[in-house]
């Protein structure tokens, strides 16, 4: 059985989400402010993992969102994910310098 490109897109999207969830689960268990920063970073990674799956699902199942709006939503979610990552790194840096 050969998978078409569309089916392979779903496989890759799900792999991204599973990878992000595993990274969150297997992150180092540290305490204090470092843990807060690392948790924020991992939340950002999970959001980034979901952005691609969300984009694919919206394209296939939600007709109310047009082709011009969908990429904006995708990029908006990416920005939110990276904001969590940046804030997490900032938090960890403050904890290390303290």
For the stretch 15-51, pLDDT in tens is 988 998 888 888 888 888 888 999 999 899 889 888 9
pLDDT in tens, 48-93: 888 988 888 888 888 888 888 888 999 999 999 999 999 999 999 9
Given a contact cutoff of 8 angstroms between Cβ atoms, the answer to whether 53 and 13 are in contact is yes
Give the predicted TM-score (pTM) of the model: 0.81
Q: How far apart are the first and last CA of the chain?
A: 57
Q: Up-side HSE of residue 93: CA atoms within 13 Å toward CB?
A: 6
Q: Report CA torsion sign: 5, 55, 70, 44.
A: negative
pLDDT of 1: 60
Looking at the chain, how many residues does it have?
Answer: 98
pLDDT of 78: 95
- Written as six digits, the tokens of 65 are 């969102």
């Amino acid at each position: 059985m050969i998978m078409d490109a569309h089916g392979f897109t779903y496989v890759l999207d799900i792999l991204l989400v599973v990878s992000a969830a595993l990274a969150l689960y297997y992150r180092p268990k540290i305490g204090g402010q470092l843990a807060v920063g690392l948790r924020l970073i991992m939340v950002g990674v999970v959001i980034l993992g979901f952005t691609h799956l969300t984009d694919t699902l919206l394209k296939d199942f939600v007709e109310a969102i047009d082709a011009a709006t969908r990429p904006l939503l995708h990029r908006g979610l990416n920005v939110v994910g990276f904001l969590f990552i940046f804030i997490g790194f900032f938090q960890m840096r403050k904890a290390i310098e303290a």
